[in-house]
Structure 1
């Protein structure tokens, strides 16, 4: 059993991490960190709990500490980070330098050449970038990232299509309000409305997907050569990012071939990876957020609505943005780090 800590444990993603990690077959929650205002309080007092299940009894009385190496016990080797990126950019390298291995959902450093950006079912070999990271930075610990929630929804489906030679991708997202955090979008902004801009989201999708599908030669990651263009929109659903994807491929691909490639795409041999990684719907009006976001306990990706275009394929895909797209992605990466001997 690996003792683990959660950084930013009082926030929305931190609460999801607690839900997913208690209980867990390989991990024991042993440390919770938050802002100085919360430090010194038991978790049940520090957190305004909004998750859809009670605070686990053995977590409720853990004393919250500040997010700093001196406050985290030495026998907690693996940390899951849900820190705001501005805080993560400062704290995560300090923790890695101090010897902790950090599996982070924060957006800082995702595109740094020596920081692996990983979806275990897609590019588990990229975890070996940590060897380069340790050599270059002199760290005893390590820092690994999972991608943005909208990128996680789309990229596994693209990985399945890459056998046909991906050349360009256009995507329009319909993203749930939970992706902005509890207070990120007010009710007056989003009810009876759609917001056709999410700051920085397009850039993340366009760059992160190319890194995830790139190749690692033992020294550096070469980005995938496809062109990616994204338009990101906020809509009034609670959870589940739905995305409309147009993929141009070098080889001709039929809707049936695209659907079969996704349905056959393998899952990962990790405790939190779903048995069926990409669920393919035959119905033209699926997937839908309310109906399909919880497939595979929220860890699956789903796809449907396949049709041929003049130079490729069009389809829709969906994933639960705070489970597969955030907390669950970090947990999977933590499991991979243990499986590969980095923890």
Structure 2
């Protein structure tokens, strides 16, 4: 078993890390770390638990530590907010730790993998060019993950010329306490700071080609408009895509259904079906479908052909599981599986 530490363990994403890692077959939680206000308290005292499963017994009495690089652990999973994550994660990397980060701080660094294992596993080789004792591997923005997973099989088979996406993002994406109730109840907020920029830049890096010590970004045009909606969990994306080659609805559904690039690795967090196409006209819906694949599958529906190369569809991603903690854990599993080849 590999010992792991969780930074930001009391936040919403940190709680997802705790939930998923408490009974993991080859990761064992050895350290929970959070802000100085939480440090020194038992985890059950420090955390305001918001998940519908109870706090795992094995972590209830663990003492929360400060986010300082003096832990006895093999890997560090960071759920720290982006406004403070950067320098803290840097200190851990300089001290020799392998860090799997959910924060935006290092996603666009040239030699840092921005990883979705089903999409760009080869980008993991970028860590060879990090000139630090430790390494950092990041996962993308929550909406970006759902979008890129849906686009990957389309791009591989038919190419992509342009993408337009409108997101309807759950309030849990804003963390806790998040958006004030008087702002979001009976309302839609058509702006989320930095979200549109993240989708438009991160998507092109993830779908780009590895060139030695950097990624050559994908060259299709992408535009995004992001909205906060009164849904607890699950980001919806309304996507328009123009392909390079002609395709049919049947062709694209087949591409979705055959997209299983990790099926031979037997990783515990990887879903059997990363993409699930739902043919019913009213699908997908956050309330009904966000937990498919244990929250790690992206649900797709409403695929409509506009012309020979133009299509629209709706996708749904669980923002705190596949869109955050789950993707980081899957990155950790892939790294552990490939560790001997990477070292």
Q: Does 1:25 align with 2:25?
A: yes
Which contiguous aligned blocks of 4+ residues in structure 1 show a shift greater than 6 angstroms? Answer: none
Q: CA deviation at 1:339?
A: 1.1
- CA offsets, 1:106-152, max 9 Å, x none? 1111111011000001111111100011xxx3x12100000000001
Q: Say yes or no: does 1:154 pair with 2:150.
A: no
Q: Which runs of 5+ in 1 are unaligned?
A: none
Q: Which residue of 1 aligns with 2:193?
A: 199
Counterpart residue number, 1:121 = 118
Given that 2:234 and 2:286 are in contact with CA atoms closer than 8 Å, whether structure 1 keeps it comes out as: yes
When structure 1 is superposed on structure 2, of 143-152 and 279-288 the one drifting more is 279-288
Question: 2:88 maps to which residue?
Answer: 91
SS in 2 for 1:318: strand
Measure, in 2, the Cα distance between the counterparts of 1:167 and 1:289. 29
Corresponding position of 1:36: 36
**Structure 1 counterpart of 2:204, from 187, 204, 210:** 210
Q: Which of 193, 203, 225 is 1:231 aligned to?
A: 225
Kindly indicate whether the alpha-carbon contact (under 8 Å) linking 2:93 and 2:99 is maintained by their aligned counterparts in 1: yes
Aligned to 2:312: 314
**Whole-Å separation in 1 of the counterparts to 2:300 and 2:100:** 27
Per-residue deviation, 1:219: 2.3
1:6-50 residue CA offsets vs partner (Å, 9 max, x unmatched): 001011110110000010001000001111111111111111222
Count the aligned residue pairs: 336
CA distance in 2, matches of 1:318, 1:239: 10
Contact 1:118–1:147 (CA<8 Å) still a contact in 2?
yes
Match of 1:56? 56
The 8 Å contact of residues 173 and 242 in structure 1, kept in 2 or not, is answered as yes
Q: Where do 5+ consecutive residues of structure 2 fail to align?
A: none
Distance 1:25 1:292 in 2: 26
TM-score, length-normalised on structure 2? 0.96
- SS of 2:150's equivalent in the other structure is helix
1:148-297 to structure 2, matched below 5 A, reads: 148-162=141-155, 163-268=157-262, 269=265, 270-297=267-294
SS in 2 for 1:123: helix
Is the CA contact 1:267–1:275 (under 8 Å) kept in the aligned structure 2?
no
Query: Separation in 1 of the partners of 2:261 and 2:177?
Result: 34
Per-residue CA deviations over 1:246-278 (Å, capped at 9, x if unaligned) read: 001111121121111111111422210100110
Alignment check: 8 A CA contact 2:207 2:218 kept: yes
How far, CA to CA, are the matches of 1:263 and 1:205 in structure 2?
A: 24
Structure 1 Cα separation of the partners of residues 15 and 306 of structure 2: 42
RMSD across aligned C-alpha pairs, in angstroms?
1.1
Provide the C-alpha distance between the structure 2 equivalents of 1:182 and 1:46, rounded to a whole number of angstroms.
14
Q: CA deviation at 1:188?
A: 0.8
Alpha-carbon distance between aligned partners in 2 of 1:320 and 1:84, rounded to the nearest angstrom: 19
Provide, for residues 181-233 of structure 1, a one-character-per-residue CA deviation record: whole Å limited to 9, x for no partner: 12111111111111111110000000001011111122221001111100001
Deviates more, 1:50-59 or 1:2-11: 50-59
- Quick one: distance in 2 between partners of 1:320 and 1:238? 10
Q: What secondary structure sits across from 2:178 in the alignment?
A: coil
Q: Distance in 2 between matches of 1:49 and 1:192?
A: 26
Q: What is the CA–CA distance in structure 1 between the aligned matches of 2:168 and 2:261, rounded to whole Å?
A: 25
Match of 1:79 among 76, 82, 85: 76
**Does the CA-based 8 Å contact 1:253-1:313 persist in structure 2?**
no
Residue 236 of structure 1 aligns to a residue whose secondary structure is coil
Aligned to 2:331: 333
Q: TM-score, normalised by structure 1?
A: 0.96
Query: Which residue does 1:10 correspond to in 2?
Result: 10
